[in-house]
């Protein structure tokens, strides 16, 4: 398998639920990212990991908790989300930080 | 002023037509520029980098105007498959910042 794979593709969760998004890249890249894309808005950078170390937390609420166990896997743990958190969550990777992004297909999250 | 600003469109053009649109950016010291393409409900994919002297890739031509702080994308001989949202991406939008910043996108619809 190649590229960047995200699961699940779609997720509906209640505000009291806990869920996790998974991202896996098979490109040998060293940097991974979480982005949020809301309708009609630019992609918002959430987190950056470089060589498994978090180098950026873009003022993201604590109800979003990232985890990067190795340079190929990235998780986004979700708990007590709000309806305004409904969006497309995109994972991306690159060989070096912010160079040549490859995006996953995204997880379309709906919070009810 | 938004960091990266695009006309959201939509630009509705017939097949075979030429369509062009711009993107403005706020920091004159920004380093690198890209156009990404995003199909409906899909992830963004790199279309082309934008070089200082301008560059072409088939029917697509990108230009950079540093003095006026904008980049442009021109699509010649439009195809139905060109229908998508085109994202303007700028690297180094903030001083000493290597991150990529995305515009909200320009939607192009090519009709038969």
Between CA B69 and CA B71 the distance in angstroms is: 7
Left (φ > 0), alpha (ψ -120 to 50) or beta: where does B31 sit? Answer: alpha
Between CA A57 and CA A52 the distance in angstroms is: 14
Across A51-77, average pLDDT: 90
Q: Which residues of A64-87 are buried (b: 16+ CB within 10 A; e: fewer)?
A: bebebeebbebbbebeebeeebbb
Tell me how many residue pairs between chain A and chain B have CB atoms under 8 A apart: 36
pLDDT of residue A109: 97
The nearest CA of chain A is from the CA of B60 a distance in Å of: 19
A98 and B41: CB-CB below 8 Å? Answer: no
pLDDT of residue B95: 53
pLDDT of residue B110: 98
Do you find a cis peptide bond into A58, omega within 30 degrees of 0?
no
Assess whether pLDDT exceeds 60 at residue A1: no
In whole numbers, what is the pLDDT of chain A averaged over residues? 91
Residue of higher predicted confidence among A110 and B1: A110
pLDDT of residue B93: 62
Assess whether pLDDT exceeds 80 at residue A31: yes
Range of lowest pLDDT (A8-22, A56-70, B5-19): A56-70
Confidence grade of residue A40 (pLDDT, cut at 50, 70, 90): confident
pLDDT of residue A63: 95
Q: Which residue of A has its CA nearest to B103?
A: A42
Contact residues on chain A for B41, CB-CB shorter than 8 A: 108
Residues A38, A42, A47: CA angle, nearest 5 degrees: 80
pLDDT of residue B98: 63
pLDDT of residue A96: 73
Between CA A53 and CA A30 the distance in angstroms is: 10
Please give the backbone phi and psi of residue B94, each rounded to the nearest 5 degrees, phi first: -115, 155
Across chain B, which has 112 residues, the per-10-residue mean pLDDT values are 88 97 91 92 92 93 95 98 96 66 94 96
Contact residues on chain A for B43, CB-CB shorter than 8 A: 90, 103-106
Which residues sit opposite A47 in a β-bridge? Answer: A34, A57
């Amino acid at each position: 398998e190649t590229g960047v794979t995200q699961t699940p593709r779609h997720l509906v969760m209640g505000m009291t639920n806990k869920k996790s998004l998974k991202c896996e890249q098979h490109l040998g890249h060293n940097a991974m990212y979480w982005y949020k894309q809301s309708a009609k808005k630019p992609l918002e950078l959430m987190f950056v990991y470089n060589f498994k170390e978090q180098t950026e937390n873009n003022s993201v609420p604590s109800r979003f908790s990232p985890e990067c166990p190795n340079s190929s896997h990235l998780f986004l743990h979700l708990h007590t989300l709000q309806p305004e958190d409904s969006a497309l969550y995109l994972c991306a990777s690159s060989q070096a930080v912010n160079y040549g992004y490859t995006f996953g297909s995204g997880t379309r999250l709906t919070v009810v | 002023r938004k960091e990266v600003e695009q006309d959201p469109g939509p630009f509705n053009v017939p097949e075979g037509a030429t369509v062009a649109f711009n993107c403005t950016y706020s920091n004159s010291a920004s380093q690198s520029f890209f156009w990404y393409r995003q199909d409906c409900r899909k992830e963004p994919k790199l279309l082309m980098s934008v070089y200082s002297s301008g560059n072409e890739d088939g029917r697509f031509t990108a230009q950079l105007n540093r003095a006026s702080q904008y980049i442009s994308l021109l699509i010649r001989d439009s195809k139905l498959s060109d229908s998508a949202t085109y994202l303007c991406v700028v690297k180094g939008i903030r001083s000493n910042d290597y991150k990529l910043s995305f515009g909200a996108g320009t939607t192009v619809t090519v009709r038969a």
